[in-house]
Amino acid sequence: MEELPWQRPSLCGDGNNCPEVAIADDAVYLRSSLQPSAIARLTLSEWRDLLSGVRNGEFDV
Protein backbone atom coordinates (compact mmCIF):
# COMPACT_ATOMS: atom_id res chain seq x y z
CA MET A 1 0.00 0.00 0.00
CA GLU A 2 1.24 3.46 -0.81
CA GLU A 3 2.15 5.85 1.99
CA LEU A 4 -1.04 7.61 3.08
CA PRO A 5 -1.33 11.18 4.40
CA TRP A 6 -2.63 10.33 7.89
CA GLN A 7 -4.31 13.10 9.88
CA ARG A 8 -5.59 13.18 13.44
CA PRO A 9 -7.83 15.65 15.27
CA SER A 10 -5.98 18.65 16.65
CA LEU A 11 -7.52 17.94 20.06
CA CYS A 12 -5.44 14.77 20.29
CA GLY A 13 -2.18 16.69 20.39
CA ASP A 14 0.58 14.18 21.02
CA GLY A 15 -1.80 11.63 22.54
CA ASN A 16 -1.54 7.98 21.58
CA ASN A 17 -5.22 7.01 21.58
CA CYS A 18 -6.61 8.92 18.63
CA PRO A 19 -8.49 8.19 15.43
CA GLU A 20 -6.54 8.84 12.25
CA VAL A 21 -7.93 9.42 8.76
CA ALA A 22 -6.31 9.40 5.34
CA ILE A 23 -8.29 10.57 2.32
CA ALA A 24 -7.24 9.21 -1.07
CA ASP A 25 -8.78 9.77 -4.51
CA ASP A 26 -10.99 6.68 -4.36
CA ALA A 27 -11.33 5.84 -0.65
CA VAL A 28 -11.04 7.00 2.94
CA TYR A 29 -8.88 5.03 5.37
CA LEU A 30 -9.40 4.92 9.12
CA ARG A 31 -7.20 3.58 11.90
CA SER A 32 -6.47 4.00 15.59
CA SER A 33 -3.10 5.35 16.67
CA LEU A 34 -3.03 2.42 19.13
CA GLN A 35 -3.18 -0.11 16.28
CA PRO A 36 -1.86 1.62 13.16
CA SER A 37 -1.64 -1.61 11.18
CA ALA A 38 -5.42 -2.25 11.53
CA ILE A 39 -6.80 -0.09 8.72
CA ALA A 40 -10.42 0.16 7.59
CA ARG A 41 -11.11 1.23 4.00
CA LEU A 42 -14.35 3.04 3.23
CA THR A 43 -15.72 4.14 -0.11
CA LEU A 44 -16.44 7.83 -0.41
CA SER A 45 -20.16 7.06 -0.13
CA GLU A 46 -19.62 5.03 3.05
CA TRP A 47 -17.51 7.87 4.49
CA ARG A 48 -20.29 10.39 3.80
CA ASP A 49 -22.84 8.06 5.42
CA LEU A 50 -20.63 7.61 8.49
CA LEU A 51 -20.17 11.37 8.91
CA SER A 52 -23.89 11.94 8.46
CA GLY A 53 -24.67 9.34 11.13
CA VAL A 54 -22.22 10.93 13.57
CA ARG A 55 -23.66 14.39 12.97
CA ASN A 56 -27.21 13.10 13.44
CA GLY A 57 -26.41 11.34 16.72
CA GLU A 58 -27.01 7.81 15.40
CA PHE A 59 -24.11 6.47 17.49
CA ASP A 60 -24.85 8.34 20.72
CA VAL A 61 -25.39 6.09 23.71
**1 confidence band (pLDDT: 50, 70, 90):** low
**What is the spatial distance between Cα 36 and Cα 20, in angstroms, rounded to a whole number?**
9
Examine the pLDDT at 57 and tell me if it is beyond 80. Answer: yes
**Cβ contacts of 21 within 8 Å, gap of 6 or more:** 6, 7, 8, 28, 29, 30
Measuring CA to CA, which residue among 2, 20, 1 is closest to residue 10? 20
Examine the pLDDT at 54 and tell me if it is beyond 80. Answer: yes
pLDDT tens digits for 3-51?
899 999 999 877 778 999 999 999 999 999 999 999 999 999 999 999 9
Question: How confident is the model at residue 20, as a pLDDT?
Answer: 95
Q: Report DSSP letters for 14-35, one per residue.
A: T-SS-EEEEE-SS-EEEEETTE
pTM of the model: 0.81
